[in-house]
Amino acid sequence: MRRVTLSLLTLLTTVLAWAQPPEFIFTSSGSSLNFSSRIEFGGVPAVTGDWVGAFDFDYNCAGAGQVIYNGMLGFAATAFTIYADDGFGGGEIDGCPGACEPFTLILWRSSTGTFHQVPNSASPISIPYVDVDDNSWVDGYSSSDMIFGAVTLNFSTTPTNVLPVELFYFKGQLQDEGVALSWATLSEVSNSHFNVEHSTDGQNFEVIGRIEGAGDHVGLLEYSFLDKFPAKGVNYYRLQQVDYDGHFEYSEV
């Protein structure tokens, strides 16, 4: 297993504590790799208080770090640990080649609250990790690469979304005709459709309907679905939001 030891102590003259956005909250696990890079935004150094997070295939945050700008050296940088283990579907960080599931890096701007990605396909915007059978590699950078090799991620000034769909609300109401479900989104990116799922125990769900998504959209959109045949007793519902490329995410129940 490849592990890279790194530190930002040589970069920093002052360390400030800035709260990370809630989308960047993550859970540590047994398989990990440390990552570091210089960070630019539109070709100029990012600022202290910005954050960079790594997101896996299903949009789980797998690690995040604050950006620190060093005036003496004239660049901004971040360093953090990326985790992958059973919490992310059994993936394990390793060092052998092969096809793999990528981590995508996202920049959060503290001044605007917006999220940004790296537009240049030649830039190292994805960090692969392997499955338990060693079928892939991790493409990371050490602190010496960052400091002396000028390894840099240049994030686009055009905002993006961390998640494909920003769900505003999801609620249900018992009516004479059945259970009326309603939900709304504030933005959608590559949103193919919603699968409406039902359960009687809150654990085992089955699909009872499908509602088409709006693809790409910014602004409020409202959806509804009527379950005409709810079970007696307690009924549980959740949404499975599915992208055009097959990525999906579940709502809260």
Q: What pLDDT was estimated at residue 102? A: 60
Instruction: Please tell me the predicted confidence (pLDDT) of residue 235.
Output: 92
Q: Is 7 in contact with 79 (CB distance < 8 Å)?
A: yes
pLDDT for res 87: 44
Q: What pLDDT is attached to residue 138?
A: 41
Q: Is 16 among the domain residues?
A: no
Contact 48, 76 (CB under 8 A): yes
Across the chain, which has 253 residues, the per-10-residue mean pLDDT values are 33 50 76 77 90 75 88 86 57 48 77 76 46 43 45 75 71 91 83 92 92 83 92 91 82 83
Q: Report pLDDT for 67.
A: 92
Cα angle 152-113-17, degrees, rounded to a multiple of 5? 70
In terms of residue numbers, what domain contains 190? 165-250
Handedness of CA 50, 219, 192, 231 (dihedral sign): positive
Question: Does 11 reside within a domain?
Answer: no
Answer with the one of 155, 188, 210 that is the final residue of a domain.
Answer: 155
φ/ψ of 24, rounded to 5, equals -100, 15
Please give the pLDDT value at position 99. 46
Residue 17 resides in a domain: no
| 58 and 175 both lie in a single domain | no
Assess if residue 184 is contained within a domain.
Answer: yes
Residues 81 and 30 both lie in one domain: yes
What is residue 62's predicted lDDT score, i.e. its pLDDT?
79
CATH of the domain at 212: 2.60.40.10
pTM of the predicted protein model: 0.55
Asked if residue 194 is part of any domain, the answer here is yes
In a domain, 5, yes or no: no
> Within 10 Å of residue 54's Cβ, how many Cβ atoms?
27
Pair 198, 208: CB distance under 8 Å: yes
Q: What is the pLDDT of residue 27?
A: 77
Please check whether residues 71 and 110 belong to one and the same domain: yes
Are 154 and 120 within 8 A, CB to CB? Answer: yes
Is the domain of 171 the same as that of 113? Answer: no
pLDDT at 162 (0 to 100): 60
Q: Does residue 4 sit within a domain?
A: no
What per-residue confidence (pLDDT) applies to 237?
93
Q: What's the structural domain count of the chain?
A: 2
